[in-house]
Amino acid sequence: MRKFALAVMMSAPLLMSSPALAESLVGRYVAYIGQDDLYNSNGVRLTEPWQVLRQDRANYHRFGVSQPGDEWDGFFGSIDNRAIMERMVMNGRIDPGAARNLVNGGAMVVVRIYGTGSTGNRVEVDVVR
């Protein structure tokens, strides 16, 4: 019995790191951040990277505004998923250069969405060079 208990205890970390329980890539897209992405629907200049990313996706999916290089994504087509963009950026990683370039515009970025199933938890954002 003690051998069985020891075997279970030793295998617990393996079970917890199982790919089924780990985050996976939910989606990915490339976007060019143009002037239209720097202002919200009321014409207010956006100052945070997550705001610009959210506006870019709203422009693409809701308003039909895109720039050459913008790609479709299945995740941020949902208004609910766009609403959690700030949390996803805070939980993820954004390259400092990408953050600067996002707010200034004129950047081509790659956004990777990670989560479990179809639920996104975080994004990673890099500038395409």
| Residue 1 within any structural domain of the chain | no
| Residue 9 within any structural domain of the chain | no
| Residue 79 within any structural domain of the chain | yes
pLDDT at position 8 is 41
**69 and 31 in contact (C-beta within 8 Å)?**
yes
Distance CA 78, CA 25 (A): 17
| Residue 2 within any structural domain of the chain | no
pLDDT at position 49 is 94
Number of domains within the chain: 1
pLDDT at position 16 is 45
Beta partners for residue 125, in sequence order: 94, 111
pLDDT at position 3 is 54
pLDDT at position 18 is 47
Domain holding 55, by residue range, is 22-127
Q: Look up residue 70 and give its two tokens.
A: 């913008």
> Which residues of the chain, if any, have pLDDT below 50?
4-20
Distance CA 78, CA 63 (A): 13
| Residue 11 within any structural domain of the chain | no
| Residue 7 within any structural domain of the chain | no
Cα distances (angstroms) measured from residue 22 to each of 9, 11, 35, 117, 125: 20, 16, 37, 10, 20
pLDDT at position 12 is 47
pLDDT at position 70 is 97
pLDDT at position 11 is 46
Q: Look up residue 125 and give its two tokens.
A: 């954002």
| Residue 40 within any structural domain of the chain | yes
**104 and 75 in contact (C-beta within 8 Å)?**
no
Q: Cβ contacts of residue 109 below 8 Å, gap of 6+?
A: 30, 31, 33, 53, 98, 101, 102, 125, 126, 127, 128
Can you tell me whether residue 52 is helix, strand or coil? helix
